[in-house]
Structure 1
Amino acid sequence: MAEAPGSARLVLVDGIAHLDEELAVFEAMLTGWERQQKSRLLADTTIAPRMALLRRFTEFSGSYPWEWTAGDLEDFTVSLMSGGARLAPSTIRGYHFTLRLFCDYLTDGRYGWIQACADRFEQIPSQVCHDFNTVAHLHDYEGRPERRPFTYDELQHLFDFLDTRVEQVARSGRKGALAALRDAQMIKTTYAFGLRRNELCQLDVADLRPNPHMPHWGTYGSIHVRHGKSSKGGAPKRRTVLAVPEFDWAIEGLKQWVEQGRPIVRPRNHAALWVSERLSRVSAKHLDKRFNRLRAEAGLDEALTLHCLRHSYVTHLIEFGYPERFVQEQVGHSYASTTAIYTSVSNDFKNKALQAALKRVYTPTPTKEP
């Protein structure tokens, strides 16, 4: 019978005496769980933080997994909630989830870790995460309360600031005008198409597609997203985001970058839409840092992150009257409830909706002449 990926017998060699047997078994456990996760096609960006957390928890508890207790988890949780660097409930719940998964793996008889620990240490691993000592998922959205969509005035201020900055750098003769143009257009495209950071940075020029309903937009009428957010180890999700007429101003900016700005970099055969001066693809980390700096220079609320532009896109499409299903497809949400979390319509929109309802209900119906 074939061994399951991550089995103790696949990562522990019998008959070998280790100088530090406990450390050797712990490292074998991590290797085994890593293999099991890779067999589920989970990404390295998911696996690596989990491995780091297990090492961190082991160092905190001063014990190995076959010695862990529920009390160790509770002490760890208290430490995460103490001091000035207190973590968000969603982050702590994610830590609990990782530790629960690891303990499930160790206590699953198919992997052989119970017998291996019993033979070597006369102790066996147990589940330390229970309903009574882990964070419950009580709310659909657990982000910081100050996070919100941009108002229309804030968006206008940000985009005006970006345009002015490009002009100022270009007039000064200093190096950086091309980068300023690129960064401005990346931020505008994030909002105008409701993209996630990675989706934006992974775009290639070939992902710019026409919109059959608006042929005069040329190849800038839609964006084909090939690196959408994946789930449960699946492949990145794909979707096509159509440009909407309310944001058609972004099309001219895209066209300017592709046809005038980007060629100056001389990208040759580089496929990336957003190319740096060093002929590399602009990273999400770089974009985050650049946005935070530009937001501060523009004097906007520091709680407004790049991702808030995506929230703004959803909110504003709803306010413009687009059907919820259309908005859901545009942003690539699997469930309408997720799109609803992103929506935070303005008071002006609510007032107009209420006025329309009042008019519809209370306006007298004309009586017909006899």
Structure 2
Amino acid sequence: MEDVPGSAHLVLASGVVHLDEPGAVFEAMLAGWGRQQKSRLLADSTVAARLALVRRFAAFAQAHPWDWTAADIEDFTASLMSGEDRCGPSTIRGYHVTLRMFCDYLLDGRYGWIAQCERRFDRIPSQVCHDFNTAAHLVDYEGRPARRPLSYDEMQTLFACLDDRVEVIARSGRKGALAALRDAQMVKTAYAFGLRRRELCFLDVTDLRPNPKMPQWGTFGAIHVRYAKSSRGSTPRRRTVLAVPEFDWVIDGLRQWVLEARPLLGPGPRPELWLTERRVRVSLRLMDRRFAFLRAEAGLAPELALHCLRHSYVTHLIEFGYPERFVTEQVGHSYASTTAIYTSVSNDFKTRTLQAALRRVYGTTTESEKR
């Protein structure tokens, strides 16, 4: 038998009598599947989450994989859709995909699990996930409807709250003025460059780059993103995001943070752009907590997450008239269709676009334009 990563004979010792043979075989299956996924260069966090889901499903079904049935999947799905903590469609679909992949692994003859189960338990695993009991991916976007771009008024309210908070803390003489300034600049940078949360938190000072076309912006005319979203075990993708003139106000904020505020933390040789008072990188979890606090301070809807600023960035660039291809490159999407999902232009923009079309086609002005 060939030594394929995840094969039964590599993780299940022969000639060993187990006190709990079904439990030992199940754990060996999980260990083998973990090896197979890691050989695809998947992240440890991804592998751990998938293994945890398989364990969760086995505990729900109260059966081992060779005894699973399609009805177990249906009952599991029903449980996920009930109660106050019901899962969203995309989450459930992801669970189905994971369980389907695990069953495919067990049924692949190269790994030897069919023979092991038949010899030990006189039963073999089956594919319990099929087209009629799993969620289909029918639409491009399955996010929550409440997650949307912020309006211009909401952006102004948020930024005003950020600036006021820095001034109030600084005038009071209380500790926390630097942290407040950092939080404000992180939120503004996320919006002004359309960054994801991970891309924002993992920036280093050296990632701030000049734009040769705008020398007056110094080294703050572009951001080199090194930790963009990866896929299928690949390394994080990279891109350079250019500052746009409509958001040039972010330049002064970045310059103030890098040249004046950040040195007060005593960073020494540390490269991180965003540091805490303890001189460690601002974590993703901390950024989530800070944004939730700032959002509540500004009186915005609790459904608006940090990622909504990225949606706002895409929407506002489109409204400013930037070509769709430019916007797609700025945010690092592989396909323009993904960028289109992020776009939710305002009614005013639609009205202006229609008025321009009427002038172009008919050469006349509308009644609203005359008024």
Provide the secondary structure at the position in 1 that maps to 2:227: strand
Q: How does 1:1-370 map onto structure 2 within 5 Å?
A: 2-363=2-363
Alpha-carbon distance in structure 1 between the residues aligned to 2:8 and 2:318 = 53
Q: Secondary structure at the match of 2:13?
A: coil
Q: Cα offset for 1:2?
A: 3.8
Q: Residues 51-101 of structure 1, C-alpha deviation per residue, up to 9 Å, x if partnerless?
A: 111111010000001110000000000000111111101100000000000
Matched residue of 1:223: which SS? Answer: strand
Question: Residues of 2 paired with 1:145 and 1:196: CA distance?
Answer: 19
Q: 1:44: Cα distance to partner? A: 1.2
For 1:338, give the aligned amino acid.
T
Q: Distance in 2 between matches of 1:348 and 1:157?
A: 20
CA distance in 2, matches of 1:65, 1:267: 52
Q: Which runs of 5+ in 1 are unaligned?
A: 365-370
Structure 1 residue 269: deviation in Å? 1.0
1:142-172 deviations in whole A, cap 9, x for unaligned? 1111111000010011001100000001111
Identity %: 72
CA offset at residue 301 of structure 1?
Answer: 1.2
Distance in 2 of aligned mates of 1:35 and 1:271 = 34
Distance (Å, rounded) in 2 between the aligned partners of 1:197 and 1:41: 23
TM-score normalised over the length of structure 2: 0.97
State the distance in 2 between where 1:194 and 1:38 align: 31
Alpha-carbon offset, residue 190 of structure 1 = 0.3
Q: What CA distance in whole angstroms lies between the structure 2 residues aligned with 1:345 and 1:268? A: 44
CA-based RMSD: 0.8
Which moved further from structure 2: 294-303 or 236-245?
Answer: 294-303
**CA deviation after TM superposition for structure 1 residue 137, in Å:** 0.7
CA distance in 1, matches of 2:174, 2:123: 67
Task: Give the deviation of 1:310 after TM superposition.
Answer: 0.1
Distance 2:69 2:2 in 1: 32
**Aligned partners of 1:6 and 1:236: how far apart in 2?**
26
SS of match in other structure, 2:238: strand
**Equivalent position amino acid for 1:244 in 2:** V
Amino acid at match of 1:151: S
Partner residue, 2:367: none
For the residue of structure 2 that corresponds to 1:240, the secondary structure is: strand
Shift of 1:362: 1.1
Q: Deviations over 1:36-58 (max 9, x none)?
A: 00000001121111111111101
**Paired residue secondary structure (1:227):** coil
Alpha-carbon distance in structure 1 between the residues aligned to 2:338 and 2:38: 28
Separation in structure 1 between the aligned mates of residue 169 and residue 138 of structure 2, nearest angstrom: 49
Runs of 4+ in 1 over 2 A off after TM superposition: none
Q: Tell me what 1:367 maps to.
A: none
Distance 2:286 2:35 in 1: 31
CA–CA distance in structure 2, aligned partners of residues 114 and 101 of structure 1: 15
Q: Matches of 1:112 and 1:84 in 2, distance apart?
A: 41
Structure 2: how far apart are the matches of 1:322 and 1:362? 25
Supply the distance in 1 between the matched residues of 2:75 and 2:131 (Cα, whole angstroms): 16
**Structure 2 CA distance, aligned partners of 1:298 and 1:320?**
26
User: Per the alignment, in what secondary structure is the counterpart of residue 314 of structure 1?
Assistant: helix
Matched residue SS, 2:110: helix
- SS at 1:45's partner residue? helix
The code of the aligned residue for 2:117 comes to C
Structure 1 residue 115 displacement after superposition: 0.5
Instruction: Tell me the CA shift for residue 303 of structure 1.
Output: 1.5
Aligned counterpart, 1:368: none
What is the rounded CA distance, in whole Å, between the counterparts of 1:322 and 1:251 in structure 2?
Answer: 20
Structure 2: which 5+ runs fail to align?
365-371
Distance 2:89 2:304 in 1: 20
What TM-score, normalized to structure 1? 0.97
| Partner SS state of residue 224, structure 1 | strand
Q: Take 1:165 and 1:279, find their aligned partners in 2: how far apart are those partners?
A: 22
